């Protein structure tokens, strides 16, 4: 058996690989978008099936999106925003200001 390493050591090793940072950032964006849609859907008292009907999607597609499993297009985000009674705003932020 090899030596045991901490999670921080393992994460540092993984993040040092080429392309890992970009993959991590894409996953973070998918997760945050999905979470925002789920929270708003729940605020409105909608089921995934009801949101799917409003957007022209199928319920499994909404579930995948909310779980961070898909990267949406701008038109998809516009459809979701309208169905969730919201306005879509896309902006660029300098990296030093982004959280």
Give residue limits of the domains in the chain.
Answer: 19-84
* pLDDT for position 89: 94
Note the pLDDT tens digit of each residue in 25-81. 889 899 999 999 999 999 999 999 999 999 999 999 999 999 999 999 999 999 999
Round to whole Å and give the CA distance between 2 and 98: 38
Round to whole Å and give the CA distance between 38 and 27: 16
* pLDDT for position 83: 98
* pLDDT for position 7: 79
What stretch of H or E contains 36? Answer: helix 20-43
* pLDDT for position 2: 65
How many other C-beta atoms are found inside a 10 Å radius of the C-beta of residue 57?
20
| CATH fold for domain 19-84 | 434 Repressor (Amino-terminal Domain) (1.10.260)
How many other C-beta atoms are found inside a 10 Å radius of the C-beta of residue 60?
11
Mean pLDDT of all residues in 12-30:
86
């Amino acid at each position: 058996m090899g030596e045991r390493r901490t999670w921080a050591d393992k994460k540092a090793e993984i993040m040092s690989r080429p392309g890992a940072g970009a993959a991590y950032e894409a996953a973070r964006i998918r997760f945050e978008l999905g979470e925002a849609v789920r929270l708003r859907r729940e605020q409105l008292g909608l089921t995934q099936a009801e949101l799917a009907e409003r957007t022209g999607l199928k319920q499994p597609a909404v579930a995948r999106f909310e779980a961070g499993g898909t990267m949406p297009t701008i038109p998809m985000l516009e459809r979701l925003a309208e169905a969730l009674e919201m306005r879509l705003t896309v902006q660029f932020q300098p990296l030093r200001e982004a959280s």
